[in-house]
Amino acid sequence: MELAQKIGEIKSKLGMDVTDDQVESEIRMSVLSLAHQIGLDPTYSSRLLNLLLIESVGLQRKQKTSDQPSSHMDILMRARQIE
């Protein structure tokens, strides 16, 4: 989880989107190649990679929305709640 957060921070600083189909495809090919080399079931390896990618994207999206500055309406609504 910490790694996904770090990746999200770097991508955010570089102005990159949360998802990148080309990069994910390259990661998938690398993982499957490594799984084949070390004798892991490719189906299991793919499922594990999918879980990791889903978790990473979820954390990055959550982080991206929390990093965005509040709009003036958000600030006004919060001020009214405080009153």
Contact 18, 11 (CB under 8 A): yes
Q: How confident is the model at residue 11 (pLDDT cuts 50, 70, 90)?
A: confident
Tokens 């990159």 correspond to what residue? 16
**What predicted TM-score, i.e. pTM, was given to this entire model?**
0.59
Report the pLDDT value the prediction gives residue 74, as an integer from 0 to 100: 55
Q: What is the pLDDT of residues 30-80, one digit of tens each?
A: 999 999 999 999 999 999 888 888 887 777 777 666 555 555 555 665 676
